[in-house]
Amino acid sequence: MKYCSHCGSDAVSFSIPEGDDRPRHLCGSCGAIHYINPRVIVGVLPYLGDRVLLCKRAIEPRLGLWTLPAGFMENGETSEQGALRESWEEARANIRVDDLYCVYDIPHINQVYLIYRGELLDQGHGPGPESLEVELFSEAEIPWQEIAFPIMSEALVHYWADRKTGQYPLHRGVIQRKL
């Protein structure tokens, strides 16, 4: 950070504020502390009968690979509203949310994922501007080697195992950087 977003000063330093325990961007002119916090990604694992809906990404990162509809939560919306918005933006999917299904921390990229499980209300889905294709897959048809992100693979693995038991507990975990 070079300039303070509160006053415009270029007197920004990176140091530990009084009473804090970690470095932050501090403005030497107005005293503002600029916090940089993790980003929240919200999405849905949409299902219809024995199939799940995946989107082929039309944007980087991971252009051309498959994912669940998900994206950054916006200010002023709940996580569920954000997940439904992302499902519409990426897959033009009408979904009824069942419940929060997966919570994953990805500390090395400062992200937290909240994935809901939700039923497609109709067959009327299709690619939005961030998707090349949108398709329903049975478990045997999932293109496992072409899944864009580890969190999406984890959620899908949980879903297919849970579907066999009919129980859908909340799954939590940490995705670590692969060296």
Domain around 26: 1-36
| Whether residue 24 sits in one domain with residue 5 | yes
142-148 contacts, C-beta under 8 A, 24 or more apart: 142/52, 142/54, 143/54, 143/66, 146/64, 146/65, 146/66, 147/65, 147/66, 147/67, 148/57, 148/61, 148/62, 148/65, 148/66, 148/67
Taking only the tens place, the pLDDT of each residue in 110-133 is: 999 999 999 999 999 999 999 999
Strands (DSSP E) found in 11-147: 12-15, 24-27, 33-34, 39-48, 51-57, 66-67, 70-72, 95-106, 111-120, 131-137
- Clarify whether residues 49 and 66 are in a common domain: yes
179 in a structural domain: no
What is the CATH classification number for the domain harbouring 88?
A: 3.90.79.10
On whether residue 151 sits in a domain, the answer given is yes
Does residue 154 lie within any of the structural domains? yes
Task: Judge if 21 and 109 occupy the same domain.
Answer: no
Tens of pLDDT along 28-86?
999 999 999 999 999 999 999 999 999 999 999 999 999 999 999 999 999 999 999 99
**Same domain membership, residue 80 and residue 45:** yes
pTM (2 decimals)? Answer: 0.91
Domain match, 20 and 52 both = no
76 shares a domain with 25: no
Note the pLDDT of residue 178.
77
What is the per-residue pLDDT across 128-156, written as a single tens digit (0 to 9) for each?
Answer: 999 999 999 999 999 999 999 999 999 99
Q: What is the pLDDT of residue 95?
A: 97
Provide the pLDDT for residue 120: 98
